[in-house]
Amino acid sequence: MANRSSTSPEITPSRSRCIVEHDTETLSFELINYMQLKGMEVGKFVSSPVCRVGGYEWEIRFYPDGLNKEYTGNTSCFLCYLGKDQDVSAKFSLSMQETKGLQAQVASFGTLDYAFTTGLNEFGYPQFVTRSKLKSLARFGDGCFTIRCVLSVSKESPPLELHDDLERMLEEGLGADVTFGVGGREFDAHRYIMVARSPVFRAQFFGPMAEKDMRHVEVIDVEPTMFEMMLRYIYNYKLPSCNNEGGGYNAAI
């Protein structure tokens, strides 16, 4: 038979949770006449109107003659984050199609995942579309192309602090509408919180035998310390640490 050891119960404290939301938009940047953009020089770009997604400002940057000499013969395209005060995580994809004429799909790339910072605020494709391909399409069409960026920005909302707010209500007694008498002590509480958290109190306050406008409840056969712990657990879903040195509760309790 296995030996059994007696240990104090472990109480897992409640944790605040952050909710991550995603704001997704499609940015479109129309290049009216590609042939007029030729010869801008390497490293020069044209940019889309500034768009606000996820609470931050963004733009598409297109380099007709490439980002630098390493990518000679290619155009380059990047998504640029214009914020200055905060790092931002985002997912995005870039594509280009002919706006008019043949309306051909010129280029399409998969989704990129990138953490934008003030120092690294531009990310994308230095080899976007070859200049020869765009030149050829422009000759047979009208030279108008549209760059599309599907952008999804991650936003982290503040942690949920409902339990802390409810605990503060309990401590301050603000709006309390019921009093519990326990072993000569009295505890103020809020009946609707008690009802929402406990089927026992739901039956007591709103069951068939409930007294109308009950404002005082006498609790018997429960120690005040135990009731206070239970009350706090109802409000904030956590208990004090278990110890035998005061300030918590002992294994017997």
Which domain-ending residue is among 130, 156, 182?
A: 156
Name the CA dihedral angle for 51, 28, 64, 70, rounded to a multiple of 10 degrees.
70
Q: Give the pLDDT confidence score for residue 10 in this predicted structure.
A: 38
Q: Give the pLDDT confidence score for residue 94 in this predicted structure.
A: 97
Task: State the total domains in the chain.
Answer: 2
Angle, vertex CA 120, rays to CA 152 and CA 64, nearest 5: 80
Instruction: Report yes or no on 95 lying in a domain.
Output: yes
Which domain-ending residue is among 126, 156, 186?
A: 156
Residue 66's CB: how many other CB atoms inside 10 A?
A: 23
Which domain-ending residue is among 156, 182, 208?
A: 156
CATH of the domain at 33: 2.60.210.10
Claim to verify: residue 174 and residue 198 sit in the same structural domain: yes
Q: Give the pLDDT confidence score for residue 237 in this predicted structure.
A: 80
CATH of the domain at 232: 3.30.710.10
Claim to verify: residue 190 and residue 135 sit in the same structural domain: no
Confidence grade of residue 39 (pLDDT, cut at 50, 70, 90):
confident
CA 217/CA 111 separation, integer angstroms: 61
pLDDT digits (tens, 9 = 90+) for 89-142: 999 999 999 887 666 789 999 999 999 988 889 999 999 999 999 988 888 777
Instruction: Report yes or no on 202 lying in a domain.
Output: yes
Residue 168's CB: how many other CB atoms inside 10 A?
A: 13
pLDDT at position 247 over 60: no
- How much is the average pLDDT of 141-158? 84
Maximum distance among all alpha carbons in the chain?
94
Instruction: Report yes or no on 145 lying in a domain.
Output: yes
The packing angle between helices 162-172 and 224-236, to 10°, is 140
Claim to verify: residue 212 and residue 127 sit in the same structural domain: no
Q: pLDDT exceeding 70 applies to what percent of the chain?
A: 83
Claim to verify: residue 27 and residue 122 sit in the same structural domain: yes
Instruction: Report yes or no on 246 lying in a domain.
Output: no
CA 145/CA 103 separation, integer angstroms: 9
Claim to verify: residue 98 and residue 25 sit in the same structural domain: yes
Instruction: Report yes or no on 10 lying in a domain.
Output: no
Claim to verify: residue 35 and residue 69 sit in the same structural domain: yes
Residue bearing the bigger pLDDT, 18 or 175? 175
Domain that holds residue 176: 162-236
CA 128/CA 107 separation, integer angstroms: 8
Claim to verify: residue 174 and residue 148 sit in the same structural domain: no
Q: What is the mean pLDDT of the chain?
A: 83
Residue 179's CB: how many other CB atoms inside 10 A?
A: 14
Claim to verify: residue 30 and residue 115 sit in the same structural domain: yes
